[in-house]
Amino acid sequence: MKSSKSFHDKFHNYAQRETYPNLLIKGLPFIVTLLIITILSFFFLYSPNPLSIVPNQDLEIIQKHSQKDEFDHAKTFVPNQEHDTIEEHQHVSPSELHKEKKTCDIFKGHWIRGIRGSSYYTNSSCPTIPDSKNCFKHGRMDSDFLNWKWKPENCELPMFDPKFFLNIVRGKKMAFIGDSVARNHMDSLLCLLSQEETPIDIHKDSEDKFRTYYFPKHDFTLMILWSRFLIEGEERIVNGTGSGIFDLQMDKVDEDWAKVIPELDYAIISGGHWFFRLMFLHEGGKLLGCIYCSEKNVKNYDIDFPLGLAFKTSLKYINNCKDCRKRKLFTIIRTFAPAHFENGIWNTGGYCNRTGPMNEEEVDLNRFELKLRNVQMEEFKEVKNNNKGNTRFEILDVTNAMVMRPDGHPGEHWGNKWMKGYNDCTHWCLPGVIDVWNEFFLAVLQRENDKQR
Ligand SMILES: *[C@@H]1O[C@H](CO)[C@@H](O)[C@H](O)[C@H]1NC(C)=O
Ligand SMILES: *[C@@H]1O[C@H](CO)[C@@H](O)[C@H](O)[C@H]1NC(C)=O
Ligand SMILES: *[C@@H]1O[C@H](CO)[C@@H](O)[C@H](O)[C@H]1NC(C)=O
């Protein structure tokens, strides 16, 4: 498997952004390896709880990471802890948020220590907790990662209040549109809301990619619409089997979600983890270029290019969607959530077993994830500036906060019997760090609600 390792390190190491001219002509051992990798990666990605293939970005950070014990780490992490005690934050109710500076950027801040055992739910109080995110059931022993709270620089982020959330969305329909990380986000929301009302599972397709829940007391419908790329993307079939090579139509949105959005009041759209693979990019029937290919006369792009285009096409489509105007569709763009494989990637022994946040000095601000976040941000600004006022757009900018949380992933505790030894450093434990996305989400909904009054 030596060739597999080097293949994968290179193939998915977007940090280096090289091309590999000999990729497809290394002969039989290589092809066999490619096949194995493809099969494995498809097992991952097509199962309801896939790991995405995200390269190792963390070597540098690790090297910088000293052997300080956790306590010291936490202390240095919060220099102004004494003035910034958590008690102040815990008592801010959602309705108080808008009394804070309206211009406050809630996504800019840092993690501070909160009250011990302050998670919103447990694996037994959330009836819909997915097995693969139930880290404590699968042997995760440390729980200190639950005790951190996000502190925006210039204001407070209110606690998540399920009553408040359900009142805002009463009578509405909401969909998460995206990959398994979008599903992870919805699963967190389901757990949070279930503390107030137990949802009813009303629709599930055979692969569990499209799922709908209903909260009868609040007449609220919540669904996931699975979409790998947001735009059209088909895998090339070679000799009857999937090749792991994709053709993307950069100017065509994925019909699976596009046909549903006219019935929606809210759409949360996200993506990114599927773009780290060999792909050919088409537009208007022409080949624009590729990702990780080695063909002559085909332009090789970085991942941020197709990702930006996919968001551009999708957001433009939503902005021009006439049928979306009657319900004044509110679209929330959730930015890229980083994976944290250390010393390898998912199939080369990469792991993520830290038990606390990284401090700000440890975070590499040149991480490629931040570039992905920036193209998503640009597309958000673009659509907001060209907004016809009939549909609405907002941003859920989780990247900065999540970059600092390598401790939030299941790691080896994701309960997959068939893939023992592989770590999930892409998705997030429930309860866990990802619950903050819904604190952000509620804050965004509330601001929008105040505006509409
Ligand atoms: C919850 O986690 C505990 C370990 O903390 C585990 O023993 C238990 O089986 C889990 N319960 C459920 C319902 O998953
Ligand atoms: C497809 O099958 C044919 C016939 O078995 C074989 O010659 C060819 O190399 C295969 N192509 C690939 C890409 O595996
Ligand atoms: C994390 O895992 C690595 C590799 O298995 C191991 O060497 C290291 O001691 C572990 N660290 C912690 C904090 O468990």
> What tens digit of pLDDT does each residue of 124-164 get?
999 999 999 999 999 999 999 999 999 999 999 999 999 99
What is the pLDDT at residue 93?
54
Active-site annotation holds for 180 = yes
* 377: helix, strand or coil: helix
136 within 8 A of 191, measured Cβ to Cβ: no
Tally the domains of the chain.
1
284 within 8 A of 190, measured Cβ to Cβ: no
Residue type, position 438, single letter: N
What is the pLDDT at residue 19?
32
Residue nearest to atom 6 of ligand 3 (CA): 353
Q: Residue 106: which domain range?
A: 2-452
Mean pLDDT, rounded, for 320-343 = 95
Structure tokens at 435: 């619950």
Active-site annotation holds for 65 = no
Percent of the residues in the chain that have a pLDDT greater than 70, as a whole number: 77
The count of other CB atoms within 10 Å of the CB of residue 11 is: 20
Each residue's pLDDT tens digit, 38-75: 434 433 443 333 333 333 333 222 222 322 222 233 33
Mean pLDDT, rounded, for 278-306 = 96
Residue 395 pLDDT more than 60? yes
The CA-based angle 129-340-275, given to 5 degrees, is 90
DSSP per-residue string spanning 405-421 = -GGGS-BTTT--GGGTT
What is the pLDDT at residue 75?
30
Strand partners, 334: 396
pLDDT band at 397 (very low <50, low <70, confident <90, very high): very high
Q: Is 124 in the pocket of ligand 1 (CB under 6 A)?
A: yes
What is the pLDDT at residue 360?
78
Residue 316 pLDDT more than 60? yes
Q: Which of 23-32, 116-125, 187-196 has the highest mean pLDDT?
A: 187-196
What is the pLDDT at residue 453?
72
Residue type, position 142, single letter: D
The atom of ligand 2 lying closest to the CA of 239 is: 1
323 within 8 A of 262, measured Cβ to Cβ: yes
- Contacts of 313 by beta carbon, 8 Å cutoff, 6+ apart: 230, 231, 250, 251, 252, 253
CB neighbour burial string for 14-28, b if at least 16 within 10 angstroms, e if fewer? bbeeeeeeebeeeee
- Contacts of 311 by beta carbon, 8 Å cutoff, 6+ apart: 230, 269, 271, 333, 375, 376, 379, 380
Q: Is 294 in the pocket of ligand 3 (CB under 6 A)?
A: no
The radius of gyration computed from the CA coordinates of the chain, to the nearest angstrom, equals: 21
Each residue's pLDDT tens digit, 89-123: 444 555 555 455 567 999 999 999 987 667 999 99
Please count the residues of the chain. Answer: 453
pLDDT band at 443 (very low <50, low <70, confident <90, very high): very high
- Contacts of 294 by beta carbon, 8 Å cutoff, 6+ apart: 19, 20, 21, 22, 23, 24
Mean pLDDT, rounded, for 240-252 = 96
Contacts of residues 213-218 at CB distance under 8 Å and 24 or more positions apart, as own/partner, are 213/128, 215/166, 217/166, 218/166, 218/167, 218/169, 218/170, 218/171
170 within 8 A of 111, measured Cβ to Cβ: no
Residue nearest to atom 5 of ligand 1 (CA): 136
Set 132, 180, 194, 270: catalytic member: 180
239 CA from centroid of ligand 2 (Å): 6
277 CA from centroid of ligand 2 (Å): 22
Q: What is the mean pLDDT of the chain?
A: 81
What is the pLDDT at residue 101?
54
The pick from 136, 141, 145, 187 for probing ligand 1's pocket by mutation, whose C-beta has the most ligand atoms within 8 angstroms, reads: 136
Q: Which residue has the higher pLDDT, 110 or 365?
A: 110
The pick from 239, 241, 245, 278 for probing ligand 2's pocket by mutation, whose C-beta has the most ligand atoms within 8 angstroms, reads: 239
Residue nearest to atom 9 of ligand 3 (CA): 353
What's the CA gap between 325 and 390, in Å, rounded? Answer: 5
Whole-model pTM?
Answer: 0.81
Mean pLDDT, rounded, for 176-203 = 98
What is the pLDDT at residue 211?
97
What is the pLDDT at residue 366?
75
CATH code for position 376: 3.40.50.1110
The pick from 340, 348, 353 for probing ligand 3's pocket by mutation, whose C-beta has the most ligand atoms within 8 angstroms, reads: 353
- What distance separates the 2 farthest-apart alpha carbons in the chain? 65
What's the CA gap between 265 and 87, in Å, rounded? Answer: 35
Structure tokens at 333: 């763009």
Active-site annotation holds for 185 = no
> By C-alpha distance, which of 249, 228, 371, 380 is closest to 311?
380
Mean pLDDT, rounded, for 186-197 = 98
Each residue's pLDDT tens digit, 398-426: 999 999 999 999 999 999 877 778 999 99
